[in-house]
Every structure is written in structure tokens, then in C-alpha cells.
Amino acid sequence: MLKSRGVPNFVFAAGGGGRYKWGMSEPIVFQKSPIVQKVEPGTYWWCACGRSKSQPFCDGSHKGTGLEPQKVDITEARTVAWCACKHSGGKPFCDGTHGKLA
């Protein structure tokens, strides 16, 4: 993928015939380890873009990226490992994918 010039937060995805088309931003890796936290029952909005200053939760920094936070309903108090690399196959929770990132 090539980063677009002059348009922040968007990338071009290579298309057929050497053409490029608009695509969503890729999430930014916040860190390559989970954020382990005790949580109480309630609704949480997990940051999927990696830009939030309130990790692992959304602060609205995704605006304009094409990425959206993920709603998470926790039904009982427990400890969770939130994905902080933003590439987990088990979003919003860590599945170890961060260990495979460059």
C-alpha cells in the first residue's frame, strides 16, 4: 500500500491494471502487548484505530479515518486483555497477533 499525499489518514490500495483506489486507514499499533485491566460490568467502546489518547478506549480520534470503535458489553467483573496492537483476530481482546507484527 502507498500512503496518499496531502490527505492524512487514508491509503491507496493497489487495484487491477496498476490503478489505485481509496481504502480505509490501517489501524496504528499502539503497543505490541495487551492492556490487562480489571473491568466492571458495563458498556465500553474499544479503540480500533490506535489513535486514542485514552487507550484502550475511544476518545473520538478516529474521526476521518474510516475506522470505528467497537462496542463491548461486559456482563460480569473480570480481568481482560485488551488488544493494543489493533490487529487481533479476536478484537477487542488480545490473541497474541502482536508477536507476529514487524
Contact 32, 61 (CB under 8 A): no
Alpha carbon distance 37, 16 (integer Å): 44
Note the pLDDT of residue 23: 53
Distance of CA 58 to the CA centre of its chain: 10
User: What phi and psi values does residue 45 have, to the nearest 5 degrees?
Assistant: -115, 105
Provide the residue-wise pLDDT of the chain in tens; the chain has 102 residues: 333 344 444 444 444 444 433 456 899 999 999 999 999 999 999 999 999 999 999 999 999 999 999 999 999 999 999 999 999 999 999 999 999 998
Note the pLDDT of residue 85: 98
The residue to which cell 489493533 is assigned: 86
Three-class secondary structure assignment of the chain? CEECCCCCCCEEEECHHHCEEEECCCCCCCCCCCEEEEECCEEEEECCCCCCCCCCECCCCCCCCCCCCEEEEECCCEEEEECCCCCCCCCCECCCHHHHCC
Note the pLDDT of residue 96: 97
Note the pLDDT of residue 25: 85
